[in-house]
Amino acid sequence: MKRFFDNFVTVSTGRWAVSLPSVALYLPFSFLFSLERENALDTGSFGTQLMVVTGGELASILFLFIAQVTLLASRKERRQNLALCITVWFSTGLVAGLVSEYYGHNTLGVESHILMRVANSLLFSGFALGLIAYWFGTLRKIRTERNVLRSLEDLLTVDTSQLNEAQIQAKKLAIINLHSTLLPKVVQLQKLTTGLQKYGTSESLAVALAELESLAEDLKVKLDSKLRVLEVSPSLLDLKSQDRLTPVKLISGLFPRVLSVRTSLIILVFGALIGQGTRNGVNGAIVGVLSSIIVVALLQLFRVIGTRANALESAWFNPLAYVAIYAFQYLYTTVSPTWFIGIANPYQAWYAGLKTVCTIYIASLISTLMVEQNNSLESMSSESAIHRNQIEEMSQEHEALQQITSSTSFGSIQGQISGVIMALNVLTENDGVPTTKRDLSRFIADTNTLLGDAIFEIEHIGTREYSR
């Protein structure tokens, strides 16, 4: 709950606390709600009701305009105080109710219902403007996060291009060094070890020389393997910045793609408490809230059935759900005044059913938009994480290539193999004849150790795989 509250404060008290789009969305519903109130109050003819409602709504719009350029003038730059935003939202309804009462009673001569008009407008405007600010703010937050991720993707694309170029150069240099610097020495080492084999005068020397020849052959195999891996490995990482500004699909046929449950619950209960509460008192509020809970339970049941039957996206499922909701609300409105709790001004059954279906339709449209935006954001976040991991792996591979180059040109591998060749050249003349009669077993064993270290270095240098 605290998390929701913190998020509500963050997204609702900034740019969208009051705005032209939010007022444009709020105004039709406020007008219809007020017209419904005047109809229940029996405020003369329909034309008179229109004038009473229009006077209040025009005054509330003027108040919102003044508030957003004075009290909330800095909302585009920074978050506003929550108490101030709530004051503006509820004051809008207070102005609408007071002006409707004054204009209707003092100018048009209709009966005074100041408490009903003010309470109805105050509660509806306060909660409606707050909810609309929350939804618009949430959508803006999602769009902002998408823009941030898109900018990050663009930066990753630039980094990848630079890394690809560096990777190509490092790979070429590593292969050239292995071919031109290390491979000739390995071949020379093989020739020297082969030439020494016929001079093994003792068993220990013969074993040491055989091991030396085997190690030299193993060194050649390991080096050839390392070269093949480098030559066939892809050097480039393909990371293109994709266009994610494609429009989201909100409608499937004539209906929203998502059948909303939670958003519908909020709006239905909110409407029942204000509409029925101000129209029929506590009994009306009970009837309205009970109806809302049952409708939401039916919606959840349809969601479960649709999910299990894999029918949520089918062309017939949503129309069937809306027809069922309308039928239930029509029946409930017909029987509730006499079977459950008596209320003085019940809605007409056709109007109650239509109102409920329209509320669910709008709630589902809002939920669909938020779901699609969130899905897009999650997809972008997932792709961005994958790309960052790929770039990190590529950076590590680049370091491994640089390690190969330095080790084969100036490092331990070059030194170890050069040391072995120098030692063997000390033991032989150009034709491979020994220059000393000393016991060579220990000297060859030390040479084998040095050669074994070189093989280990080649095996483990750049140990990360170069294939994706």
DSSP string, 64-93: HHHHHHTTTTTTTTSPPPHHHHHHHHHHHH
Q: Name the 3-class secondary structure at 255.
A: strand
Lowest-confidence region among 79-93, 142-156, 327-341, 432-446: 432-446
pLDDT at 432: 44
pLDDT at 463: 46
**Which has more pLDDT, 220 or 16?**
16
Written as one string, the DSSP assignment of 336-366 is HHHHT---SSPPPHHHHHHHHHHHHHHHHHH
pLDDT at 431: 47
CA distance 209 to 115: 109
pLDDT at 436 over 80: no
Percent of the chain with pLDDT over 70: 60
- CB under 8 A, 24+ apart: contacts of 139-148: 139/369, 139/370, 139/373, 140/11, 140/14, 140/15, 140/16, 141/10, 141/11, 142/370, 142/373, 142/374, 142/377, 143/373, 145/377, 146/244, 146/373, 146/376, 146/377, 146/380
245 confidence band (pLDDT: 50, 70, 90) = very low
Please give the average per-residue pLDDT across 101-117, as a whole number.
Answer: 89
Q: What are phi and psi of 256, to 5 degrees?
A: -60, 150
pLDDT at 59 over 80: yes
Residues 310-364 pLDDT 10s = 877 777 888 888 999 999 999 988 887 666 666 777 788 888 889 899 889 888 8
User: Do you know the residue count of the chain?
Assistant: 468
Using alpha carbons, list the distances in angstroms from residue 419 to 54, 79, 213, 332, 414: 99, 71, 16, 96, 8
Q: Please, what is the average pLDDT of the chain? A: 75
Comparing CA positions, the residue from 373, 439, 2 lying closest to residue 203 is: 439
39 confidence band (pLDDT: 50, 70, 90) = confident
pLDDT at 390 over 80: no
pLDDT at 286 over 60: yes
pLDDT at 134: 87
Comparing CA positions, the residue from 129, 59, 64, 61 lying closest to residue 100 is: 59
Lowest-confidence region among 231-245, 257-271, 305-319: 231-245
Lowest-confidence region among 33-42, 44-53, 448-457: 448-457
